[in-house]
Structure 1
Amino acid sequence: MDRLPARPTVLIVPGLRDAVPGHWQTLLAEDLDLAGWPVANVPPMGRENLDCAARIDAIEVVAQAIDGPIVVVAHSGGCVMVAHWAQRTRREVQGAVLATPPDFERPMPDGYPTLAALREGGWLPLPRLPLPFDSLVIASRNDPLASFERTTELARCWNSRLVDMGDVGHLNPASGYGRWPLAQLFIEHFSAAPQGAA
């Protein structure tokens, strides 16, 4: 009897604010674990740590410790981290779900890093080279951290397919999102696809 292919490991890359209780990524990791999926999390780096290179290194360390295929699930600043990481890693990725990437090239609301701080941390300019793996960019039409047009532009540059979620804010607890069941459907989509195929 043929053996079923092993499920890929879901690599969760949180945003600059790290893992947050009640956030859909935190709940997703719990739900996937209960369902028998292998899950790996990029460890917390500290909200004040704006060293982009250190965060990219953290993704690489976790990714290289995983045996077998990977599906990346990133949110907010984690999407930008993944775009930077993709230009340097040699790790094969089966697919990536990139939810509501922020526009770090425009001033953001109070409480978020300034353009000067992001530039000093090595985040700018935003990576615009095509990603070397299949990906979905999840876009919101009323995201306070990025206009829909800018998110669409990033998706085009990254050669990602755009998923228009409508008015979902920043897809975080402040926008009313705890569990986000679509995330697992997107993961299953990449898990079912042959390596390198969408």
Structure 2
Amino acid sequence: MKTGDCDILILPGYAGSGDEHWQARWAGRLRTGRVVEQADWHHPDPEDWRARIVAAVQEATRPVVLIAHSLGVVAAVEAAPCLPAGIVRGAMLVAFPDIETCRNLPASVCSFAPVPRDPLPFPSLLVASRTDPHCSYARAEEFGAAWGASVVDAGEAGHINVASGHGPWPEGLMRLAGFMTTL
């Protein structure tokens, strides 16, 4: 599958993705990509975030590929059972935060716990860092295995955001292209 053959829904995490974040850059670069906006990026409500993802998928006019970062990963996993069957063809999940242990996370983020461990109904790729301050690599592997996701070791990449030096993140875009060929 090529990016032009699907609707790419970008799911930012807590506080959204500012202009320099790779997700914002990708939304501007990918012709069929768009950010799923949330009502409040700084005070996330689990039910509202899930509902907005479900609505965005239902409104899609082509097959959907999800690209989620941080809390967006959790929201995508939580929304998965409510998504119309067969529309989402795959998901690239980046920097899953372990909200169950709440390592360095705001209380509103932790309100999304517990995280479902059911297999996802679509192929998924979980990109995890060995130095993510919000999730150990072992926990990311554990969740990835439960979801049936292929886990990619991003090395010592922090939270894979602007603060960790991942503005445009060309390696991620290459990883997305490779993943898309499998869908």
Residue in 2 aligned with 1:46? 40
1:84 aligned residue (66, 73, 78): 78
Shift of 1:175: 0.4
Q: What number of residue pairs does the alignment pair up?
A: 181
Deviates more, 1:149-158 or 1:185-194: 185-194
Residue in 1 aligned with 2:54? 60
How far apart, CA to CA, are the structure 1 residues paired with 2:149 and 2:59? Answer: 26
How far apart, CA to CA, are the structure 1 residues paired with 2:162 and 2:60? Answer: 29
How far apart, CA to CA, are the structure 2 residues paired with 1:192 and 1:68? Answer: 17
Residue pair 1:71, 1:190 contacting (<8 A) in 2 also: no
Evaluate the alpha carbon distance shift between residue 13 and residue 90 of structure 1 in structure 2; reply closer, same or farther with a 3 A threshold: same
How far apart, CA to CA, are the structure 1 residues paired with 2:172 and 2:3? Answer: 21
Residue pair 2:8, 2:65 contacting (<8 A) in 1 also: yes
How far apart, CA to CA, are the structure 2 residues paired with 1:21 and 1:50? Answer: 20
Residue in 1 aligned with 2:126? 137
Evaluate the alpha carbon distance shift between residue 189 and residue 57 of structure 1 in structure 2; reply closer, same or farther with a 3 A threshold: same
Shift of 1:107: 2.9
Within 5 Å, give how 1:110-189 maps onto structure 2.
112-114=105-107, 117-118=108-109, 121=111, 123-189=112-178
Provide the aligned C-alpha RMSD in A: 1.9
TM-score, structure 2 normalization: 0.91
Moved over 4 A (4+): none
Evaluate the alpha carbon distance shift between residue 82 and residue 159 of structure 1 in structure 2; reply closer, same or farther with a 3 A threshold: same
How far apart, CA to CA, are the structure 2 residues paired with 1:129 and 1:158? Answer: 6
Structure 1 segments unaligned to the other structure (5+ residues): none
Structure label with greater radius of gyration: 1
Structure 2 segments unaligned to the other structure (5+ residues): none
What SS does structure 2 have at the residue aligned with 1:11? strand
Residue pair 1:141, 1:167 contacting (<8 A) in 2 also: yes
